[in-house]
Each structure stands twice: as C-alpha cells, then as structure tokens.
Structure 1
Amino acid sequence: MHCGVSFSRVMSLNAMLCIATLFLTLVSTHVEAQRAFFVFGDSLVDNGNNNYLITSARADRPPYGIDSPNGPTGRFSNGLNIPDLICEQIGTEPLLPILSPELTGERLLVGANFASAGVGVLNDTGIQFVNIIRIGRQLELFELYQQRLAALIGEEQAQSRVNGALVLITLGGNDFINNYFLLPITARRLQFPNLEDYVDYVVGEYKGVLNRLYELGARRVLVTGTGPIGCVPGELASQGSRNGECAPDPQRAGALFNPKLTQMIQNLNSEIGSDVFIASNTGGMLNNFLENPQAFGFETSKVACCGQGPYNGLGLCTVASNVCPDRNVYAFWDAFHPTERANRFIVQQMMIGSVDHMSPMNLSTILAVDAAKSP
C-alpha cells in the first residue's frame, strides 16, 4: 500500500504552480506596463458612476448602450464614449468607475473614471440632479484612490504611476446649459448679467480645479473645451429653432469660453514651466460635423437619434423615445451627447489633430515624447 504522494505527482503540481505563477506575473507585468489613465468630468465622459447614485442623471437603461455588447452601462452613448476610445488608442484596459466594487487589486493599476453626469466647474451646476459627484468630490476620491494604490504597490510606485498617467477632464458645458441658461432667469444670470463676466468667472474657477489636479500628481492632462452648445439638438428644441439655426446665446457662450480656456491653460503651463495641460478643442472638432455632416458620412447633425419633440431634442432618451435605425448616420445620439461614431472622429482628432484642435501638441506626440523620456 502506498500512502504518500508520488514524486512525479509532486513534480507535476510544482510545474503547474510555476506555470500559474508565471501567468500571474505576466498579467501583472502587462497591467503595470500599461499607462494608467484617469478621467474626470461630466456625462460626456461618465462611464457608470451615476449608476451607484440616486439621481435622474443616469444612462443605465435602454436604449442607452443599444450598440454595446454589454447593453446600457451608464455611458451616455449608443456604444462607446471618448474615454473608451482613448483607452483603445493608448493600449489601456477599459476603465472602471471609481464607485464600482470591482475596482480592487490589480484593476487599480489601470486607473479609474471619476466622472459624474450633470456636474460642472461650479458647485451649484447640476443641483437639479441632486446626488452627483461634484468636481471637488471627484478630486477627493482621486486622493483616496491614491491611498488605496499606495497600499497595493507602495507610496513611491504609486506616485510614479500617477505622475506617469494620462488624465482627461471634461467640464464646462453644464455650467452654461444646466446653470446659466437653464431658465430665462437664473441665480447666475442675475449675478452675472454680462455673459462674458460669467465666462471669466467659470474659467477662473476651472484654473483652481486644474491646479488641484497638478497638486495631486497629474502631469499630462487633456482639457476639453465645450462643444457648440447652441447647436446641440437639446438647445435647438428648447430655444425654438425653426430651421436648425443654432441658439445664439449658448453658442456665444461656447465661442467666448473655449479661447479663454485655451489661454488660461497656456498661462498655467507657463507658471508651472512645463506642458502639463493640453487644450483639446472639441468644439472645433464638432463644428466640422455641424457645418458639413455629409463629408463625415452623417445624414444629420441637427436631429438626435434618440428622443422626442423637435429635433428629438426634448426630454430624456427612454424606451418610449423615437430611436433611429442606423446610429452611424447621426452625429448626436441624444439631446446633448454624440454617437459612438462621432466620438471616434473626436478621438481621432485628439490623436493626430493640428494645433488648432490640440494645443500645444496632439496625443500621438504626447505618447511619443513621453515614451522617449521613459527609462
């Protein structure tokens, strides 16, 4: 009778353990080799944080995600959004929302998405949505995330990973659409009857947000401007556009905001002494669709794919909405958000766009410059 384990069985188990250890090491090395990516901002870049909040600003039900194999995930899109597509370009796994219970262990090395639909630069923006992660809280969560990362890989490695990360922040649109222009009379319009004064105030507050990001270790930050907010289906409908003409006041707000934002970013980089912040002129990119949608293969840039009322721009995108059969020929998915195909054009311009769209350099140049600096 043989009561022990055979030598060959022991060798076989050891071999299996070695293979398993090697596999886990390779997986871990692959994750560590990826550049971390962090996302802050509003619904244009939220990938599901609001799913975990009691708020009306959410996209976790059909027909959102109609073209995604995962269905509705909290992305305000028919499919992928801008952060997803940047992940594709830089070779990073899709990010998890910071509130996701799955964001633990090795997944922390990939980065996180802190964005929350409805927020703005200002704390009072989006108060109608009640429970959202305002930008100050997003930055607090970033600080807490870094503590979790340090517990996993040590403080020095955690700081290095954050310093070497790519960061995307998208704010501003809601400060106009869901604050200043929300009603004919609003608190901010009474405070700033001159629109340009309000724009200056928002840009000044945004500078404080970016400074805090820098203090928290961000060293490569893509900062998007607002889109052509007077031309989105939601504004065309609410402002009573008759022939698709853009709403003049919101459009003027974006025209004032974007150049001032770019100038502020240039000044901030000068103060720091490095090109930390990159101005991404998404408004100019979307203007291309608006001016000549057919050149990009879109049938319309005025009517949303999902919605109701004029331009499909009223109310929410729900199962009761009109939904277009072919999302690829629409520039806008719902009243305010681009389709996945439009987002792909935007990210393409982020990658290779000229200085008119990406200042002082595009994402391809950033990746090349930073790769050359890596040891």
Structure 2
Amino acid sequence: MANSIASSPQLPAMFVFGDSLVDSGNNNFLTSIAKANYYPYGIDFSQGITGRFTNGKTTVDALCDRLGLPYLPPYTMPGLNGTQLLGGVNYASAAAGILDESGQYLGERFPLSQQVINFENNLYELRAMLGEKMSDYLAKSIVVMVFGSNDYINNYLLPSLYTTSYNNYTAEQFASLLINSYTRQILALHSLGLRKFLLAAVGPIGCTPNQRSFWNVPPDRCNDQVNEIVGFFNRGLRSEVEQLNNNHPGAIFVYGNTYGAIGDVLNNPANYGMRIVDGGCCGIDMGRGAEITCLPYLTPCGNRNEYVFWDAYHPTTAVNLILAEKAYAGPPTDCYPINVQQMVQK
C-alpha cells in the first residue's frame, strides 16, 4: 500500500502512536480479520482490506497524503525491516490507552508504554542504516500521538471492571493521572531524539453512538457529562503542551483540537455535506444506538459521506479527511500553537 506522492525532503518520516482511531493493523485479531477479508472495514482502499477501523482512510493516512509520505506500515507487519522503516511506522493498537490497564478486558493490545518500546526496537535497525544522519532524521520526523479515548470508554467509565474508574477518582484526578503518565512517555520519545510532536485531544466521546445508547440520552442529544469529564483531560493536555514547549526549546509540541473539530462537524453537519450525526453507518441497525462495531459481511449504509460515525465508536473517512486538513493547515483554534505544515518547515 503506497502513496503515489514522493516523500518530502523536509519530512523524512512520521511515527504514529495511538489507538484504534489510527491503527493500521497491529493487533493480532485484526491480522486474522484481514486474512478473512473482514468486510466492511477499510473497504474503500483500492487494495481492499486495510485493518483500519473505518471505511477507508484514517486521519494519519490523510496526513500522509498531504505530506507526501507513503502510508505507514504497522509495526507487526511480517518482514518489516530495512528501507520499509525509513518513511515511518505506525505503532498504534486498537484498545490501547495511556494507562497500561485501559482496555485490558478487550484482549491483547499494545498500550502506550509498549508502543514506545516497540519504537525503540526499530531504532537499532534505523541507526544501522543511517549512521551519523540518525539525529537529524529523528529531529525532522513528526510524531503523531492519539490517546485517551480508551482510558475513558474502556476504563474510567466502567467501574465494575477497573480500579482507576470514577468510583475511585474524580474527573480532575483521573485527568491528572493520565497527563502525568502521558508526559512521561512523551519525554521518553523526546530522549530518544524525536523533536516534533502532534498530540491529539480526545474527541467528544459523549456524542458517539455507543455513549448515546449506553447512557440512554434523549434523541438528538449527546452525553454532556461524559464530554465534560473529557474536557479536564483536554484542558490539561493543552496546558501541558505549553509547558513542554517552555521546557524544551529545541522541540515543538502541538495540541490538535480534535474535540473542537468534531464538535463543529456535529453542530454544523450541513457545512460539511453531512446529515447523520447520531448513528453509525455500519452497526446492528445501521442507525442511532448501534452498540457494536461492524460484523463480518454486514452491509453498511450506501451514503457514507453523509455520516459522521462509521460504527458505534469511530468516525468515517469523510470526517478523518476533515480532521487531517484542520491539523495540517488549520488556525491555532484547530492546531496550537502552529499547524503541521508550519511544524514541518521548522
């Protein structure tokens, strides 16, 4: 799977860390799904099944298009080595969280701490190929990090399964726990030589079909309480970005306002050519309240570009393209303090 645009001389590589929003096939169960041609995920890619939790491209894929990078291979791709590593690697894993325990009831996954270790594993081969050019290569590469959703949906909001839930932590305490843990791993990557970081906020997960249904909110409404809980994390992350930039002048840390970007789509769908904001295109009833992700060979809706959500949790490709464009070229309200295009030029 290769992007036809040549790699930018200003940006040698992109390294992605995250969850199912940007996963390209790292989980073992995804690998088996791909082998079984798990329609309908990734159905719009010209090369067929892609292991992505959407109907086509993720936000990272769309950023690769804008930056002239090849689509990034997943870390677990068989035989991944040599020049395949040079354009970057996707370490994201479905169900992964900032905290190691987040999503553990869903099975095997790579939490953030393990994803950082996986990146270190690739550094040995990259260093052997690049030699003295290694430091410049890492400093010019971009890191994309998309975390936090699972720490809420598959941890904090499930008190019967997790000790780090709302039974034991206030929303402010949990957000602080996440930010502190997140910062340690970000600085670990910084210590390895990476210098350009895009840190995505958590979107309005209280508006996902799953959370609307789980909490039985009234029609045409989101779960405002869940969104308020997520707000503590997003404000903390934006503040942490400012602190990181102050403490590490040789690096640049950027806050991607995913919450605001998706919120604008939800509030003004017609401006983006969309119509359905409260139900998944693919789900049990292909409508509001679909509780699970798409089942094998379940026929999704035909008008996919009119839907905000692909399934009960994940946005459609149409939304991912919007998010990528806002991150790439948006104003400070979308990407703070600078956007990805400006970050590449630094």
Scaled by the length of structure 2, the TM-score of the pair is 0.91
Comparing 350-359 with 110-119, which one deviates more in the overlay? 350-359
Comparing 237-246 with 290-299, which one deviates more in the overlay? 237-246
Q: Note the C-alpha offset of 1:160.
A: 2.2
Superposition RMSD in Å: 2.3
Question: What is the alpha-carbon distance in structure 2 between the residues aligned to residue 276 and residue 344 of structure 1?
Answer: 24
**Mapping 1:133-152, distance limit 5 Å:** 133-152=110-129
Corresponding residue to 1:113 among 90, 94, 97: 90
1:324 aligns with 2:301: yes
2:314 aligned partner: 337
- Match of 1:263, SS state, is helix
Corresponding residue to 2:252 among 276, 285, 295: 276
Distance 1:171 1:59, change over 3 A: farther
1:218 aligned partner: 194
Corresponding residue to 2:209 among 233, 238, 243: 233
Question: What is the alpha-carbon distance in structure 2 between the residues aligned to residue 162 and residue 193 of structure 1?
Answer: 37
Question: What is the alpha-carbon distance in structure 1 between the residues aligned to residue 198 and residue 311 of structure 2?
Answer: 25
CA offsets per residue over residues 52-96 of structure 1, 9 Å max, x none? 77899x997111012122222211110010111111111111110
Question: What is the alpha-carbon distance in structure 1 between the residues aligned to residue 75 and residue 265 of structure 2?
Answer: 32
Uncovered stretches (5+) of structure 2, i.e. residues with no partner: 1-5
1:291 aligns with 2:267: yes
**Mapping 1:237-256, distance limit 5 Å:** 237-256=213-232
CA offsets per residue over residues 272-320 of structure 1, 9 Å max, x none? 1245210001110000111111111001111110112561531221136
Corresponding residue to 1:98 among 75, 79, 96: 75
Question: What is the alpha-carbon distance in structure 1 between the residues aligned to residue 339 and residue 144 of structure 2?
Answer: 13
Higher relative contact order (CA 8 A, sep 6+): 2
- Match of 1:227, SS state, is coil
Question: What is the alpha-carbon distance in structure 2 between the residues aligned to residue 59 and residue 166 of structure 1?
Answer: 33
Question: What is the alpha-carbon distance in structure 2 between the residues aligned to residue 151 and residue 367 of structure 1?
Answer: 25
Question: Does structure 1 conserve the Cα–Cα contact (< 8 Å) formed by 2:172 and 2:232?
Answer: yes
- Match of 2:82, SS state, is coil
Aligned letter for 2:65? E
Uncovered stretches (5+) of structure 1, i.e. residues with no partner: 1-29, 371-375
Compare the two structures and name the one with the higher helix fraction.
Answer: 1
Question: Does structure 1 conserve the Cα–Cα contact (< 8 Å) formed by 2:283 and 2:295?
Answer: yes
1:173 aligned partner: 149
Corresponding residue to 1:125 among 102, 106, 115: 102
Question: Does structure 2 conserve the Cα–Cα contact (< 8 Å) formed by 1:54 and 1:131?
Answer: no
Aligned letter for 2:277? S
Question: What is the alpha-carbon distance in structure 2 between the residues aligned to residue 239 and residue 320 of structure 1?
Answer: 28
Question: Does structure 2 conserve the Cα–Cα contact (< 8 Å) formed by 1:301 and 1:330?
Answer: yes
Question: What is the alpha-carbon distance in structure 1 between the residues aligned to residue 133 and residue 173 of structure 2?
Answer: 43
Question: Does structure 2 conserve the Cα–Cα contact (< 8 Å) formed by 1:162 and 1:218?
Answer: yes
- Match of 2:95, SS state, is coil
Distance 1:47 1:191, change over 3 A: same
2:135 aligned partner: 159
Corresponding residue to 2:234 among 258, 267, 281: 258
Aligned letter for 2:302? P
Question: What is the alpha-carbon distance in structure 2 between the residues aligned to residue 59 and residue 114 of structure 1?
Answer: 22
Aligned letter for 2:291? L
Distance 1:60 1:269, change over 3 A: farther
Comparing 102-111 with 207-216, which one deviates more in the overlay? 102-111
Aligned letter for 1:205? S
Identity among equivalent positions (%) equals 32
Distance 1:91 1:273, change over 3 A: same
**Mapping 1:49-64, distance limit 5 Å:** 49-51=26-28, 61-64=38-41
Question: What is the alpha-carbon distance in structure 1 between the residues aligned to residue 129 and residue 143 of structure 2?
Answer: 21
1:189 aligned partner: 165
Q: Note the C-alpha offset of 1:99.
A: 1.1
Question: What is the alpha-carbon distance in structure 1 between the residues aligned to residue 279 and residue 299 of structure 2?
Answer: 11
Aligned length: 339
Distance 1:153 1:320, change over 3 A: closer
1:73 aligns with 2:55: no
Aligned letter for 1:116? S
Question: What is the alpha-carbon distance in structure 2 between the residues aligned to residue 296 and residue 102 of structure 1?
Answer: 40
1:364 aligns with 2:335: no
Q: Note the C-alpha offset of 1:326.
A: 1.4
